[in-house]
Amino acid sequence: LSLPGPGRALAVADRHAVVAIEDRGLAVIDIEVPEDPALVGEFFLGGTGAAVVIDGDVAFVAGSEGALIAVDLSRPDAPRELGRFDGAASAVDLELDGRCLYLATDEQVLQLDVSNPADMTVAATVDAGESIQDIGIGRNQLAAARFFDGVSLHETGACLCRASVPRLFIPAAGTGDGAKNSSWSTDVIVNNPGTAPIRYEFRFLERGADNADAEIVGPFELDAGLGVEYVDIVADLFGM
């Protein structure tokens, strides 16, 4: 397959690949038939895409013009802009972790909340040093490869961009002995019916208390299509 220019970055999801083309933009390629890939759409950036990642029907591309652009791929033949973040100058790499997008420049790494692609905001900054060339994300850690002094690891914590995290309240929970030789416990089952891994945490909120500093247990990870049961969660996870 011939492309309209030199490729600078590549991302693949399901049946499509997206290639950042030098001095042009994004090329959307149908790869459902690997032996016969087809160019089905283009999105013009007005510059060169330095890095690109895909989340479902949305591609995030960091361009040479200093903007991070969210591109709607729901119609691969007619990709369109959903939103932009004007703080991606000198971008070198992108990594996606849930609804948090890590944007690496040669001076710092920004954690962006991209749960709403039309309004991308900075959630945190990771001090990973200067001269960053590449980054990787895994298990609440960020690895940064730097030009002069190798690789460094940095704690990021769980990706909890607030607009993207649904909260489920269990109105009553407890553990212990009851009247007439009864025993009480709270069992919780977490299911992931989706097609991607999920990350979650538990908090015990004491009735009548402020709970601003409530203990957090987690995060936990659950692969797509799986479930897990927590038996007597108050005793087992919170030690009560």
41-45, 78-82, 212-216, 229-233, range with the lowest pLDDT: 212-216
Could you give the CA distance from residue 206 to residue 76 in angstroms, rounded to a whole number? Answer: 49
Could you give the CA distance from residue 82 to residue 119 in angstroms, rounded to a whole number? Answer: 9
Nearest 5°: the CA angle 37, 43, 49 is: 90
User: Two tokens at 83?
Assistant: 């939103």
Section 3-24 average pLDDT: 83
Torsion of CA 218, 219, 220, 222, to 10 degrees: 160
Q: Which of 141, 159, 154, 236 is nearest to 199 (CA)?
A: 159
178 phi and psi, to 5 degrees? Answer: -115, -165
pLDDT tens-digit map of 164-219: 445 677 887 878 888 888 888 889 999 988 777 777 888 888 888 877 677 888 77
Residue 159: pLDDT over 60: no
Average pLDDT of the chain, as a whole number: 80
The DSSP code for 238 is: H
17-21, 23-27, 36-40, 195-199, range with the lowest pLDDT: 195-199
